[in-house]
C-alpha cells in the first residue's frame, strides 16, 4: 500500500484501499502549486482497470521525485445524500486527502507557521485555512540507502530500563540548550550525552507522527499567547515522522531528508545504549467529530476507519471526537503494517499505546441494505438485521454506559437500525472483548516479537484494564497508574489504606501482575478480563509518579490545587484529583521551613520511584525540579512552561539534580532493584519482620538481598512524627548509610563525587555508625532512608556485639500465622503482610510482647527523645493553607542535657539523629 518506487523500471506504483468510494483521482503537486492551492496534474482512475477488489491502484513512469501527491475521492455523503446507503459516508470530492501509508508529509516548513487563506468554492483552487494548510505526501526518491553503520537492536531487558518521557521540540527549544538545530531531531542528538550521563537507557518520545500543531490555534483569552496542539496527540499521518521536528524540513529538504534525520536520531541513541520507544496514538485522529476537517480516513472510507453509530455519529471513547475502528480487519492490518514499518525501517525499539484499552473494544461494521431490507427494517425497527452468514445480530445504537461495578458482563442488546450491525462475532459496537483481534495480532506478529509493548490500559469511557490488559503470555507491559496514586498518597501522609498500597507498589504491584484475584471494584477483572489477571512479573509494571499530563514533580509538593488560568478555560480543564500537598504554602514562597520540606518531599518521591521494583519512567525536567507554575494541563503551550531549562539542569548548586543522578546510578549498580520476578523482599516496621499496614500506619520499610550476602534496607516515614527503627540483623554484615532525605544537600546522599570532602564523608559516616552499630536508625518526619549492607568489621562480629532485646530476636524468628491479621483495609491477598512473604502477626502488648520486653538502652533513649520532639507539632493537613511541620519543633535540649546513664548523647539535627560524644553536634539543630 502507499506509493512504491520500482527503481528497476523507473515506475511509481500507487495503491489505496476504499470499499465505498465511487471514484478516485490521483492528484500530483509541485510544492509551489500546493502552496497556491492548485493541483499540478490529475490522474483519473478507471474502476475497471485500476481497481482490484477494494484496492485502487495505478503505476506511473518517470515521475519527478520532488512531486507531492494526494487523492480526491468521490462517493456518498450523509449530509447531502438521502437513504440508508449514505449513512456514515463522508466522501468530499473537493478535498484532497492524504494517503494513510504516506512515508513523509509536507504541509508547512516551520513549527507554528500559518498557511495561506484559500477560500472554498473558487474555481481550480483547493480550499484551505491558515491553520489547516493543504498537506500532501512525498514521493519515494531514488538514492543510496540510509547508512545505519551496522546498527542493531539493543535488546535491553525490560526490567533494566530507566525510561525518560520527553518532547522532541521542548528538550532543546527556548534558548538555553545551545545546540545548532534547536527543537529538532538533530538538536536532540546533540544532547544525548546528557541523557547518557544521567543514566537513561530508554527515551519515550511524545508523538512524533505527523500532526497539526495549529489544530487549536487561537489567542488564549486574557493573554497575548496562542493555543497550540503542543503534545501532538492528534495524528495526521501515522507512517510519517513529524516534519517540523526536522532541521531538514526547516532548511527546505525533502521527505527523504526528514526520514533520514529521524533515523539518525535512532542510530545515535543506540550507539549510546539508549533505546527509542514511541508514544503512538492509534485510538483517534485529527479529523475530530462530525464538524471536523476531512484530512484522510474520513474522506477515504469513513465507515471502515471510524467507530460509528447507526446515524453516522462518531463514538468518542477517546475523548477527542472520534474513535478509530481498531478491530476492523482493514484497520488492524493498517496498524500492524505501521508498527512493522517503524521497527523494520526506522529501527525503533518499542511503543507506548495511548488509551490502549480502545484496542479491546468491538468495532462497528456496516451492511449495505437494499430497498426491501430498508423497508422491512423501517416496518420492524426492533428486529435485528440479518448478517451475511445468516446469523441474527443486534446493531449498536450508542456507546456503552459507564463501566462501573454494576455494569453487566454482557450489555443488553440495543435496538436495530438499518445500515449498521455488530462485528462478525455478534458483539455490539464498543463492547470490551475478552480476546481482541488487534491486540492478539500485534502480540503474535513475528516482526514485533522482540519489540517492547506498553499499554496505557484505560480509555475515556471508564474502561480500566490496569493489571488485566490482554497480554498474550506477558507480551504487554502497562503504565501503572495505581503506582502513581499509591506513592503520591502515602508520601504526603494521607489517611487511609495507603501503607499497604505503597508497600505493594514498591514491590512491583504483585496484587496486579502476579495474583489472579480481582481487587474490589475491578469490573473488567471480574468479567472479561479475568483470564488476563496474574502470571506476569514486576517488569510489566511501568512505574511513574508524573507524566506529561498533570503536575511535574516539583509542583506535586508546591500546590494543593491546579492553576490552569493560562489555558484560557477558566481553570475548568485538567485533572481535579491530583493527590498533591503544598507543604504549607500555595505556590511560590520564601518561607524556609516550607522550602526545606518541599525539597525533602521531592527527594522522597524520587526515591520511591527509583528504588521500587518495576520499570521507572521519569518525566523530562523532573530531574532538576522543573515547575509549570501549578498548571497541570500544559498541552496547549509552546512556552517555557514546557521547555527544558538547561541552565537549571546544569546548575552545580542544584542539590536535587545531584540527588536524582545519584539515585539513577545507584539503581544501575544494584540488580536487586531490577528483578524480573517476585520475591526476596522482607517488609518491616519499627522492628524487623513486623510491618504495620493498617490505616494509621505511616511507616513502610523493607530489605532485599543481593544474592551474595549483602543487600539493601529502605524505609519511608510519612508521618509528622520522628520514628526510630530497629534494623534487620544479618550475621557478619553491617549497615552503611547511603541516603537520608531529611539531610540538607549535599549530606542527603553520601557518594564520592566531589560534593563532600573525604573528611566530611568520614565525619558523617562516623556519626551514622554510632546508631547503625547498635542496629538502630532514627527517621525524621517525612523522610526516607537507604542503607547498604557491607562486611562487618571485626569489632562488630556477632560474638562481640551487645545482645539485642529478646523482643527483637523473637521478631526475626516469629512463625507466620495461618491467616493474615485483621484490619487489612484493601482486602488484597497478603496485603496486610509483606506483598512477597507470609503474613506476620501483629505486635501485641502484654507479658512476653515487645512492649513488655526490656529495652536496649540506646533504643529507649532514642524513642524517648523522638516522643519529646513529636510532642510539639503543627496542625494536620486539612486543606489549602494548613501545613504539616516541615521539621519537628525544636526540642528542649541543650549541650548540658543529660540522658540515661550508660548511653551516648542523642542529638536531633537537620540531617537526622546523630549519636555524638563527647561534644555537641556542630550541625544546625532544631
Active site positions, annotated: 354, 456
User: Is the separation of the CB atoms in 62 and 162 below 8 Å?
Assistant: no
Strands (E), 136-295: 136-138, 163-166, 202-205, 209-211, 235-241, 275-280
What pairing do the DSSP bridges indicate for beta strands 699-705 and 723-726?
unpaired
User: Is the separation of the CB atoms in 676 and 538 below 8 Å?
Assistant: yes
User: Is the separation of the CB atoms in 554 and 625 below 8 Å?
Assistant: yes
Peptide bond into 918 cis (omega under 30): yes
Question: Cell match 519482620: residue?
Answer: 689
Tell me how crowded residue 553 is: count the other CB atoms within 10 A of its CB: 25
User: Is the separation of the CB atoms in 861 and 835 below 8 Å?
Assistant: no
> Chain centroid to CA 903: how far?
50
Choose among 134, 105, 110: nearest CA to 32: 134
Terminus-to-terminus CA distance in the chain, angstroms?
71
Q: Please tell me the number of Cα atoms within 13 Å of 814 on its side-chain side.
A: 26
Query: Residue 343 and residue 151: Cα distance in Å, rounded?
Result: 13
Give CA angle at 312 (308, 314), nearest 5°. 45
Q: Which three cell numbers stand for residue 880?
A: 489549602
Query: Residue 171 and residue 193: Cα distance in Å, rounded?
Result: 13
Choose among 609, 714, 679: nearest CA to 834: 679
User: Is the separation of the CB atoms in 193 and 668 below 8 Å?
Assistant: no
The helix or strand, by DSSP H or E, that contains position 69, with its residue range, turns out to be: strand 68-74
Query: Residue 673 and residue 688: Cα distance in Å, rounded?
Result: 20
Q: Which three cell numbers stand for residue 406?
A: 454494576
Tell me how crowded residue 910 is: count the other CB atoms within 10 A of its CB: 16
Question: Burial level of 389, CB count in 10 A (0-12/13-18/19+)?
Answer: exposed
Q: Please tell me the number of Cα atoms within 13 Å of 455 on its side-chain side.
A: 27
User: Is the separation of the CB atoms in 325 and 314 below 8 Å?
Assistant: no
Return phi, psi of residue 340, to 5°. -60, -40
Q: How far is CA 144 from CA 49, 195, 255, in A?
A: 34, 31, 15
What pairing do the DSSP bridges indicate for beta strands 452-455 and 350-353?
parallel
Return phi, psi of residue 198, to 5°. -70, -25
Strand order across the beta sheet in which 105-106 lies:
41-44, 23-29, 68-74, 136-138, 105-106
Q: How far is CA 761 from CA 89, 607, 875, 912, in A?
A: 73, 21, 36, 15
Query: Residue 702 and residue 608: Cα distance in Å, rounded?
Result: 12
Strands (E), 561-710: 615-619, 681-684, 699-705
Question: Cell match 532548511: residue?
Answer: 251
User: Is the separation of the CB atoms in 244 and 184 below 8 Å?
Assistant: no
Query: Residue 792 and residue 769: Cα distance in Å, rounded?
Result: 11
Q: CA Rg, the chain, in Å?
A: 31
Q: Which three cell numbers stand for residue 641?
A: 512552561
Contacts of residue 125, defined as CB under 8 A and 6 or more positions apart, other chains included, come to 36, 37, 38, 118, 119
Question: Cell match 495461618: residue?
Answer: 818
Q: Which three cell numbers stand for residue 14?
A: 500507487
Amino acid at each position: 500500500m502507499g506509493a512504491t518506487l520500482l527503481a528497476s523500471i523507473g515506475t511509481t506504483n500507487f495503491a489505496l484501499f476504499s470499499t465505498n468510494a465511487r471514484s478516485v483521482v490521483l492528484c500530483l503537486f509541485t510544492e509551489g502549486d500546493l502552496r497556491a492551492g492548485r493541483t499540478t496534474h490529475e490522474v483519473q482512475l478507471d474502476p475497471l482497470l485500476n481497481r482490484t477488489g477494494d484496492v485502487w491502484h495505478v503505476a506511473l513512469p518517470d515521475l519527478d521525485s520532488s512531486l507531492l501527491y494526494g487523492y480526491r475521492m468521490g462517493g456518498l455523503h450523509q449530509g447531502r445524500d438521502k437513504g440508508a446507503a449514505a449513512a456514515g459516508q463522508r466522501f468530499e470530492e473537493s478535498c484532497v486527502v492524504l494517503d494513510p501509508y504516506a512515508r513523509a508529509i509536507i504541509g508547512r516548513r516551520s513549527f507554528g507557521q500559518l498557511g495561506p487563506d484559500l477560500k472554498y468554492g473558487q474555481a481550480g483552487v483547493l480550499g484551505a485555512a491558515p491553520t489547516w494548510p493543504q498537506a500532501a505526501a512525498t514521493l519515494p526518491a531514488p538514492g543510496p540507502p540510509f547508512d545505519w553503520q551496522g546498527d542493531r537492536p539493543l535488546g535491553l531487558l525490560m526490567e533494566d530500563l530507566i525510561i525518560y518521557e520527553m518532547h522532541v521540540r521542548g528538550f532543546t527549544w527556548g534558548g538555553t540548550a545551545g545546540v545548532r538545530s534547536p527543537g529538532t531531531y538533530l538538536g536532540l542528538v546533540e544532547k544525548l550525552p546528557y541523557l547518557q550521563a544521567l543514566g537513561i537507557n530508554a527515551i519515550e518520545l511524545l508523538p512524533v507522527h505527523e500532526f497539526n500543531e495549529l489544530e487549536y490555534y487561537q489567542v488564549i483569552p486574557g493573554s497575548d499567547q496562542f493555543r497550540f496542539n503542543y503534545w501532538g496527540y492528534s495524528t495526521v499521518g501515522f507512517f510519517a515522522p513529524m516534519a517540523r521536528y526536522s532541521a531538514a524540513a526547516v532548511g527546505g529538504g525533502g521527505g527523504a531528508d526528514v526520514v533520514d534525520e529521524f533515523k539518525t536520531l535512532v542510530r545515535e541513541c543506540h550507539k549510546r545504549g539508549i533505546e527509542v520507544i514511541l508514544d503512538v496514538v492509534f485510538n483517534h485522529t485529527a479529523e475530530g467529530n462530525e464538524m471536523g476537517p476531512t484530512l484522510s480516513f474520513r474522506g477515504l472510507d469513513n465507515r471502515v476507519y471510524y467507530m460509528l453509530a447507526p446515524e453516522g455519529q462518531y463514538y468518542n471513547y477517546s475523548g477527542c471526537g472520534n474513535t478509530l475502528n481498531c478491530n476492523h480487519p482493514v484497520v488492524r492490518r493498517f496498524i500492524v503494517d505501521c508498527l512493522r514499518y517503524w521497527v523494520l525501517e526506522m529501527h525503533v525499539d518499542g511503543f507506548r499505546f495511548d488509551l490502549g484499552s480502545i484496542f479491546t473494544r468491538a468495532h462497528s461494521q456496516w451492511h449495505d441494505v437494499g430497498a426491501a431490507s430498508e423497508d422491512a427494517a423501517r416496518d420492524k425497527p426492533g428486529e435485528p438485521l440479518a448478517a451475511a452468514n445468516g446469523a441474527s445480530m443486534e446493531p449498536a445504537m450508542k456507546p456503552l454506559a459507564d463501566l462501573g461495578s454494576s455494569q453487566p458482563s454482557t450489555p443488553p442488546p440495543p435496538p436495530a437500525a438499518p445500515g449498521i450491525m455488530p462485528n462478525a462475532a455478534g458483539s455490539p459496537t464498543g463492547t470490551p472483548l475478552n480476546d481482541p483481534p488487534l491486540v492478539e495480532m500485534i502480540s503474535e506478529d513475528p516482526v514485533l516479537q522482540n519489540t517492547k509493548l506498553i499499554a496505557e490500559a484505560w480509555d475515556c469511557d471508564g474502561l480500566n484494564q490496569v493489571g488485566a490488559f490482554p497480554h498474550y503470555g506477558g507480551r504487554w507491559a502497562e503504565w501503572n497508574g495505581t503506582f502513581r496514586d499509591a506513592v503520591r498518597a502515602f508520601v504526603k501522609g494521607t489517611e487511609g489504606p495507603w501503607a499497604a498500597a505503597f508497600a505493594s507498589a514498591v514491590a512491583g504491584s504483585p496484587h496486579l501482575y502476579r495474583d489472579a484475584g480481582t481487587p474490589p471494584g475491578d469490573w473488567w477483572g471480574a468479567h472479561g478480563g479475568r483470564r488476563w489477571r496474574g502470571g506476569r512479573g514486576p517488569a510489566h509494571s511501568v512505574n511513574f509518579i508524573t507524566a506529561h499530563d498533570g503536575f511535574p514533580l516539583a509542583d506535586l509538593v508546591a500546590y494543593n490545587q491546579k492553576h490552569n488560568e493560562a489555558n484560557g478555560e477558566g481553570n475548568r480543564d485538567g485533572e481535579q484529583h491530583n493527590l498533591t500537598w503544598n507543604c504549607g504554602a500555595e505556590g511560590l514562597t520564601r518561607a524556609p521551613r516550607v522550602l526545606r520540606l518541599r525539597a525533602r518531599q521531592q527527594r522522597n518521591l524520587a526515591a520511591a520511584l527509583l528504588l521500587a521494583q518495576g520499570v521507572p519512567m521519569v518525566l523530562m525536567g523532573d530531574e532538576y525540579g522543573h515547575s509549570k507554575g501549578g498548571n497541570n494541563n500544559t498541552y496547549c503551550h509552546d512556552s517555557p512552561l514546557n521547555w527544558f531549562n538547561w541552565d537549571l539542569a546544569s546548575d552545580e548548586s542544584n542539590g536535587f539534580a545531584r540527588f536524582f543522578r545519584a539515585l539513577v546510578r545507584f539503581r544501575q549498580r544494584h540488580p536487586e532493584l531490577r528483578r524480573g520476578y517476585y520475591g526476596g523482599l522482607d517488609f518491616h516496621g519499627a522492628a524487623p519482620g513486623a510491618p504495620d499496614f493498617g490505616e494509621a500506619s505511616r511507616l513502610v520499610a523493607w530489605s532485599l538481598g543481593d544474592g551474595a550476602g549483602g543487600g539493601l534496607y529502605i524505609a519511608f516515614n510519612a508521618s509528622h512524627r520522628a520514628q526510630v527503627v530497629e534494623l534487620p540483623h544479618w550475621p557478619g554484615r553491617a549497615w552503611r548509610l547511603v541516603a537520608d532525605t531529611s539531610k540538607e544537600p549535599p549530606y542527603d546522599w553520601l557518594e564520592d563525587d566531589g560534593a563532600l570532602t573525604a573528611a566530611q564523608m568520614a565525619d558523617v559516616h562516623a556519626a551514622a555508625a554510632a546508631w547503625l552499630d547498635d542496629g538502630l536508625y532514627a527517621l525524621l518526619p517525612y523522610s526516607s532512608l537507604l542503607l547498604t549492607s557491607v562486611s562487618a568489621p571485626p569489632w562488630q562480629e556477632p560474638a562481640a556485639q551487645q545482645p539485642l532485646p529478646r523482643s527483637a530476636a523473637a521478631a526475626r524468628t516469629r512463625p507466620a500465622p495461618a491467616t493474615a491479621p485483621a484490619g487489612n483495609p484493601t482486602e488484597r491477598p497478603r496485603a496486610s503482610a509483606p506483598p512477597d512473604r507470609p503474613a506476620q502477626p501483629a505486635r501485641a502488648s502484654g507479658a512476653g510482647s515487645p512492649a513488655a520486653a526490656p529495652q536496649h538502652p540506646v533504643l529507649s533513649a532514642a524513642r524517648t527523645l523522638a516522643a519529646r520532639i513529636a510532642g510539639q507539632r503543627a496542625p494536620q493537613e486539612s486543606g489549602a493553607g494548613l501545613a504539616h511541620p516541615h521539621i519537628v519543633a525544636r526540642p528542649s535540649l541543650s549541650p548540658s542535657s543529660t540522658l540515661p546513664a550508660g548511653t551516648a548523647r542523642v542529638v536531633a539535627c537537620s540531617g537526622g539523629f546523630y549519636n555524638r560524644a563527647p561534644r555537641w553536634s556542630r550541625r544546625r539543630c532544631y
